[in-house]
Amino acid sequence: MKRFFITLFTFILIFLFSTLLNAKDEKIFFATGGLGGVYFYYGTQVSDIITKTTGYKTTAIQTAASVDNNLLIRDKSDPAKGTFFCATSLPDSAFVTFKGTHPKFKDNPAPTTILWMMYPNFLQIVTTDKSGIKSLADLSGKRVSTGAPGSGTEYTALLILESAGVKTDSFKKWEKLGAKESEEGLSNGTIDAYFWSGGLPTGSIVELTTTLKRKGQNVAFVPIPKDSKVVQYFNEKFPGLADTGVIKKDVYGTSNDTETLAFWNQILAPKSLPEDVAYNMVKAVFSNLDQLHSAVKASKDTNVESTAKFIGKTAIPFHPGAIKYFKEIGAIK
C-alpha cells in the first residue's frame, strides 16, 4: 500500500510539473460578436481549440462585433503584461479602422494584422413576406434596426443606406439591435426589417423562420442586385474587399434566391502579438479544422486555400507568424 501511495504521489508531481511546464504566460482574448450571430460561436470554438492545443490562456468574449473588436485590439492589448486581444471582423470595418478613416480611429488607427480568413459574410436585410418591403427604398416609413452600436453590421448598414439615398430619419422607428434582439423584434412585430451581416446560415435567422411560420408568415430578404449603385459604391470605396453573392432559397426556405453583398471575414491580431504565439495559434486551428467545421456550419470555408489566396493581396498585412505557418505547409512560397 505504501508503494502504491508513493507511486501515486510521484505521478501527481509529474502531472503538475508537466502542466506548469506547458502553461504559457500569454493571455489571449478572442473578441467575437453578439449572441445568435456566427462570430460568437466561431470565436468560442477557436478559443477552445487554442486553449486545449497550445496551453495559452484563451477566453472568448461577447462583443458588439467588428468596430468594437478593433477598438479592443488597439486599446486593450498590452504586450508588457502578455495580454493580447484577437478578433473576428468584417473586412470593411477592419480596413477603415486600420487606415484611421473611421471616426473612432482618427489619428489613432488600429495596429492590426490578419491571422486567417474565416468565411464570406453575407449582408442579410431581413423582413417578412407580409411587410411589403421589396427594396431598400421601401424601408422609408418602416421600423428598422441597423445593427448593434459599434458593430460592423451597423457600419455597413449606414453606408448602404447612404449609397441608396435612404435616410434614417425617414424611418418610422430606428432601432440599433444585435442579431438576437433583432430576430425577437421582427418575430414580435416591433420592427419591420433589420440589417445583419453574417455567415450562412445564421442561427438566429433559422430560429426566426420557424417562429414566423407558426404565425403564418415567412422570412424574406431585401435584395441588392449586382448591377445596383450600392454594389458600385462599395467596389469603389473598398476595392477588392466587397463582392456579390447569393443567399440561396434553400438556406432559410425562402421563395427565391436573393442577390446581396458578400465580404470575407477575417481573424485579426495586434501587430505586437509575438511571432511564435501567432504561429502556434494558426497551426492549432488549421490542425483541428474538423472540430471547427462540425461545430460551426459557416466555417466550412475556413481552409488553407481560402486564406492562401489572400496573402500578399490585402491592405492589412498578414501577421509574420501566420505567413510562417502557411509557408511551412507549402501553401505559399
- Beta carbons of 311 and 113 less than 8 angstroms apart: no
Is the pLDDT at 6 greater than 80, yes or no? no
Residue 4 domain flag: no
Residue 42 domain flag: yes
Are residues 195 and 310 both part of a single domain? no
User: What burial class does residue 184 get, using C-beta atoms within 10 Å of its C-beta: 0-12 exposed, 13-18 middle, 19+ buried?
Assistant: middle
Residue 76 domain flag: yes
pLDDT tens for 12-45 read 444 444 443 444 689 999 999 988 888 999 999 9
Are residues 177 and 310 both part of a single domain? no
Are residues 246 and 175 both part of a single domain? yes
In 3D space, the residue among 140, 135, 145 whose CA is nearest the CA of residue 172 turns out to be: 140
Is the pLDDT at 10 greater than 60, yes or no? no
pLDDT tens for 263-283 read 899 999 999 999 999 999 999
How many domains in the chain?
2
Contacts (Cβ under 8 Å, ≥6 apart) of 12: none
- Which three cell numbers, joined as nine digits, stand for 86? 484577437
Is the pLDDT at 11 greater than 70, yes or no? no
Measured CA to CA in angstroms, residue 275 lies from 244, 321, 323 at distances of 34, 4, 10
What's the CATH number where 84 sits?
3.40.190.10
Specify the pLDDT at position 188: 96
Specify the pLDDT at position 85: 98
Residue 153 domain flag: yes
Contacts (Cβ under 8 Å, ≥6 apart) of 56: 24, 26, 27, 28, 50, 277, 280, 281
Q: Which residue range forms the structural domain that includes residue 319?
A: 25-118+265-328
Are residues 147 and 200 both part of a single domain? yes
* % of the chain surpassing 90 pLDDT: 80
319 phi, psi to nearest 5 deg: -65, 140
Which of 11-15, 48-52, 134-138, 246-250 shows the lowest per-residue confidence on average (mean pLDDT)? Answer: 11-15
pLDDT (mean) for 133-145 = 98
Residue 2 domain flag: no
CA distance 238 to 97: 13
pLDDT tens for 67-84 read 999 999 999 999 999 999
Residue 73 domain flag: yes
Are residues 224 and 245 both part of a single domain? yes
Q: How far is CA 103 from the centre of its chain?
A: 21
Specify the pLDDT at position 113: 98
DSSP codes of every residue in 231-290? HHHHHHHSTTTEEEEEE-HHHHT-SS-EEEEEEEEEEEEETTS-HHHHHHHHHHHHT-HH
Specify the pLDDT at position 8: 46
Mean pLDDT of the chain: 91
Specify the pLDDT at position 1: 53
Are residues 39 and 149 both part of a single domain? no
Q: Strands 27-31 and 83-89, how do they pair?
A: parallel
Give the containing element (helix H, strand E) for 60: strand 57-61
pLDDT (mean) for 220-231 = 95
Are residues 320 and 253 both part of a single domain? no
Are residues 42 and 114 both part of a single domain? yes
Are residues 85 and 134 both part of a single domain? no
Residue 303 domain flag: yes
- Beta carbons of 233 and 163 less than 8 angstroms apart: yes
